Chains A and B, each alone.
Chain A
Amino acid sequence: MTSSRSDILVVGAGPAGLAAAVTAAETGCQVTLVDDNPHVGGQVWRAERETLPPRAAQWYARARQAKVHMVGGATVVYAPSPHELFAHSVDGAKKFQCEKLILATGAHERFLPFPGWTLPGVVGVGGLQALVKGGLPVVGKRVALVGTGPLLLAVGAFLMQRGAHVLCIAEQARRTRVLAFGASLAWHPRKLREAVKLKRATRPIPRQYSTWPLAIRARSQSLEIDLTRKPESAAAVTKTLECDLIGCGFGVVPDTVLARALGCDLNGEAVRVNDHQQTSIANVYCAGESNGIGGADLALVEGEVAALRACGQTIGRDLQKRLDRGRSFAQGLNDTYQLRDELRHLGQEDTIVCRCEDVPLEHLHPYGSFRDAKLKTRCGMGACQGRVCGGALAFLRGWAPDSVRPPYAPIPMEDFARMCADATT
């Protein structure tokens, strides 16, 4: 087991984690930055093959310049205290000790159960982009993108550029809401420019609002998806599309596994923080989408704020202003793409909700909490630790996630035993 000690440990190397690590290192702290992906950038700035997007490359260069100790491909699986964390990687276990901890664990897609969502070829919207960035060719592939949020457009544009035939973007939100949000971007010039660019890039893709999936079926060489559109004052219209791949994602959910394991309080689905990104646990800060969905620009500001506070510095007026602006954008984003009630009824009785353990929705009827359901049905007990079904059940049932037990990801028992034996706390 390798061991390293630093003033500040940052978990997650997306925009928030990169900004936090760079800021802390530039104020003179010794910083370690750990991520389970091989490259920095997180999901939003994921490397394509081995090339980082320009903004990620700039932060990466700054991190190197500031001598941030970067560890990729290592998953934090055990945190006996905020000062001692263990990670698992292909080249063995790693132990990290630190004075202060900054959590920048980001977010993952929310998946909702409906008939056929577990078929191979049905992937997340961001998931599909990640696979393509990892080398999966999509030239000539027929793709449907369904769900909600600006990610649908970003991925639509990306896939088109890579030669895919994007058949549709099906957005569950109402068109009027999305248009109103677009108009509000006048207050956020950078976001407005991005939105205009995306709109232009996705112009050839048929886009439908108030539309969601009913079912997906596997055919011999393809997939078939039924989409329904429910306009305000008219009957629902259903149509069927044949495609090769389907990207499906209903927004994103903060990843709070490590925060919860450390005992941090939540605020809804996100980690609760104060004005300075401090969590309810001493010496633990949180920045980026793990403390609320708001995009990369807000994550960068939050990372900077968390690092300055962790280093005992004050927050300047300009930074505070950027934080406030970012939060107001996030509020508009979350209101616009709020999931509609109709989506609570997409699953049938026998639709699988927990993919790890194959638990269907009907098995959950008798239970009132995640904990009860988990103990009686094994829902959320599998390898993903409820990350996939948790996002669904938070929406479908209003269930808060259950407590977390180490290891936070499945690893060989002997590796975990060694970590336990090595823990000083």
Chain B
Amino acid sequence: MSDRIRMTIDGREIAVEPGTTVAAALMMNGVHSFRESPNGDERGPLCGMGICFECRMTVNGASGVRTCNLLCADGMEVSTQ
């Protein structure tokens, strides 16, 4: 088994297999609501391929990053806020 990647979600440390997308890492760690819509409704990933923008998150301080097309990397910091 290859070395696992270590990163954080809201400061909580997680470890995932290499090649895992950030969206998948979030879902398998209990995050299902990725975004709040203008009306305040919960939204999660829809298209899984980078076109719907429902899986946007703050990654390493940059906001609005599509997590479905982004691979997890060591030391990555994801903020769900």
Interface residues of A (CB under 8 A from B): 36-38, 43, 46-51, 73, 75, 90, 108-109, 111, 118-124, 126-132, 134-137, 255, 352, 355-358, 382-384, 387-388, 409-410
9 extra interface residue pairs, beta carbon distance < 8 Å, beyond A121-B32, A355-B54: A51-B19, A118-B41, A118-B43, A120-B43, A127-B49, A130-B47, A131-B23, A355-B46, A357-B38
8 cross-chain CB contacts under 8 A: A118-B43, A120-B43, A127-B47, A130-B47, A131-B27, A135-B20, A387-B52, A388-B52
Q: Which residue of B37, B41, B48, B52 contacts A384 across the interface (Cβ within 8 Å)? A: B52
Asked, given contacts A49-B18, A49-B19, whether A384 binds B71 with beta carbons under 8 Å apart, the answer is no
Q: How many A-B residue pairs have CB under 8 A?
A: 123
| Contact of A49 with B17 in the complex, beta carbons under 8 Å | yes
| Contact of B48 with A134 in the complex, beta carbons under 8 Å | yes
Cα A423 to Cα B20 with chains together (Å): 36
Q: Which residue of B38, B46, B47, B52 contacts A358 across the interface (Cβ within 8 Å)? A: B38
Contact with A along B1-41 (1 / 0, CB 8 A): 00000000000000011111101110110001110011101
Cα A120 to Cα B54 with chains together (Å): 10
Contacts of A49 in B (CB 8 A): 17-20
Asked, given contacts A49-B19, A90-B70, A135-B28, whether A123 binds B46 with beta carbons under 8 Å apart, the answer is yes
| Contact of A123 with B69 in the complex, beta carbons under 8 Å | no
Contacts of B54 in A (CB 8 A): 355
Contacts of B28 in A (CB 8 A): 135-137
Cα A357 to Cα B52 with chains together (Å): 12
Q: Which residue of B23, B33, B37, B38 contacts A134 across the interface (Cβ within 8 Å)? A: B23
Asked, given contacts A120-B44, A135-B16, whether A356 binds B53 with beta carbons under 8 Å apart, the answer is yes
Interface residues of B (CB under 8 A from A): 16-21, 23-25, 27-28, 32-34, 37-39, 41-54, 56, 64-65, 68-71
Contacts of B23 in A (CB 8 A): 131, 134, 136
The 6 closest A-B pairs by CB, nearest first: A120-B44, A130-B48, A49-B19, A134-B21, A135-B20, A127-B48
Cα A126 to Cα B23 with chains together (Å): 15
If over half of B's interface residues share one DSSP class (helix, strand or loop), that class is named, otherwise mixed; here it is loop
Nearest residue, chain B, Cβ from A218: B42
Contacts of B48 in A (CB 8 A): 123-124, 126-131, 134
| Contact of A410 with B49 in the complex, beta carbons under 8 Å | no
Asked, given contacts A90-B70, A358-B38, whether A131 binds B43 with beta carbons under 8 Å apart, the answer is no
Asked, given contacts A129-B48, A136-B28, whether A383 binds B53 with beta carbons under 8 Å apart, the answer is yes
| Contact of A355 with B52 in the complex, beta carbons under 8 Å | yes
Cα A256 to Cα B25 with chains together (Å): 30
Q: Which residue of A121, A124, A132, A383 contacts B47 across the interface (Cβ within 8 Å)? A: A124
Q: Which residue of B24, B42, B50, B69 contacts A136 across the interface (Cβ within 8 Å)? A: B24
Cα A160 to Cα B59 with chains together (Å): 32
Contacts of A51 in B (CB 8 A): 19
Contacts of A109 in B (CB 8 A): 47
Cα A122 to Cα B45 with chains together (Å): 8
| Contact of A38 with B69 in the complex, beta carbons under 8 Å | yes
- Counting chain A CB atoms within 10 Å of each CB, the highest count among B44, B46, B69 belongs to B46
Asked, given contacts A118-B37, A131-B23, A136-B24, whether A108 binds B53 with beta carbons under 8 Å apart, the answer is no
Q: Which residue of B24, B33, B38, B49 contacts A37 across the interface (Cβ within 8 Å)? A: B49
Asked, given contacts A131-B45, A137-B28, whether A37 binds B52 with beta carbons under 8 Å apart, the answer is no
